[in-house]
Structure formats: C-alpha cells, structure tokens
Amino acid sequence: MEESGGRSDIFKLSRDWLSVQEVVSAVGSSSCGAISLFIGTTREDEVGGRKVIGLEYEAYELMAQSEFRKICDDVRARWPTVTHVCLHHRLGWVKVGEASVVVAISSPHRHEGQQAIQHVVEQLKASVPIWKKEVYDTQEASWKENAECPWALHNKPPSFTPSSENV
C-alpha cells in the first residue's frame, strides 16, 4: 500500500495464475477511499454444440505495453482523481473458471474508479493486441474476435459494388 500522493500504472502479462490480492495491493493508497475491481474469468460456454473447456491467449507484448500506457493516459485525462491503475492479463492456457484478466483502480471516491474501470476494460478489448482462441471439448479450436475491436467484421461498412449507373 502506498502512503504518499504518487501515481502508478502497472501492466503485467503472465503465463501464471493471476493473484487478485496482488493486483488489489498494488493500487492501495491511504489517500484513496475506493478500490474498484474487475475480474474477467473464462466461462463455460457452448458454441455449435461444442463445450468450451478453456481459452488460449497470445499477445504482441511490446505493443500491448504501449497500448496500456495510452489507456492510462486517457484515464488520467478523463478522471484526474484516479490514483493507481493495475492490470494483469493471462497468456497461454486458461481453463474454465480461472481469471483471464484482473484490473484494479484506486481513487478517492468510488464513482470515478468505477467509471474508469469500465473504460479500461472496454479499451483493453478494443485496442490492446491480445488474442484468444476458444478450445472445445472436441479438441477443435477457434480464434475469437472482440466485438469492441474497430476492425471486427460486424464493424466494417458494407462493401461498395459499383452498378452500371455509377460507372
């Protein structure tokens, strides 16, 4: 726990189990009355009659660090009272029920931290180059696209097909 007014942003990619307590402890501060927390877990799901048994994560690590820095800069511009931001994300195999991502934000009051944590999670999914592959009980696998990504298929404008009138 930090006792003074300094600010910190911590980003960690890990192939090991994520410690919620480590993330919470990283943002603790005597000047803050709130720690907002998000834990994203791998859920059991059924896709096309196949049961998801886990996720496999990969990342472009240097670019992920750079994008996290941009997200933190944006958070501080929008919510200047946010004191600390800590985000840990798993890489490699994550079975159903385990944490894939843990985010904690400390702030003097809960409102700013809660808004900021929602923003961090949305921006993480939209801009940080971390990819996930669903693995099914059939041993088949499928790469998944985050709906928040600007390049997601559902976000693409309809293709233009010239007609004879346009030519």
pLDDT digits (tens, 9 = 90+) for 94-141: 999 999 999 999 999 999 999 999 999 999 999 999 999 999 999 999
Q: CA nearest 85: which of 33, 23, 34?
A: 23
Percent of the chain with pLDDT over 70: 84
Note down the domain range covering 126: 8-155
- N- to C-terminal Cα separation, the chain: 67
Binding site for substrate, residues? 109-110, 125, 132-134
Residue the block writes with tokens 């993330």: 23
Count of C-beta atoms within a 10 Å radius of residue 12: 17
Q: CA nearest 68: which of 22, 120, 116?
A: 120
Domain membership of residue 142 (yes or no) is yes
Please determine, for residue 33, whether its predicted confidence score (pLDDT) is greater than 50.
yes
CATH code for the domain in which residue 43 is found: 3.90.1170.40
Binding site, residues? 109-110, 125, 132-134
Domain membership of residue 166 (yes or no) is no
| Rounded Cα–Cα distance for residues 129 and 25 (Å) | 26
pLDDT of residue 149: 52
pLDDT of residue 144: 86
Residues forming beta bridges with residue 54, ordered by sequence position? 95, 135
Domain membership of residue 38 (yes or no) is yes
Global pTM value: 0.84
Domain membership of residue 149 (yes or no) is yes
Residues forming beta bridges with residue 132, ordered by sequence position? 57, 144
Domain membership of residue 102 (yes or no) is yes
Q: How many domains does the chain have?
A: 1
* Structure tokens given for 161: 């097909």
For residue 23, the Cα-to-chain-centroid distance in whole angstroms is 14
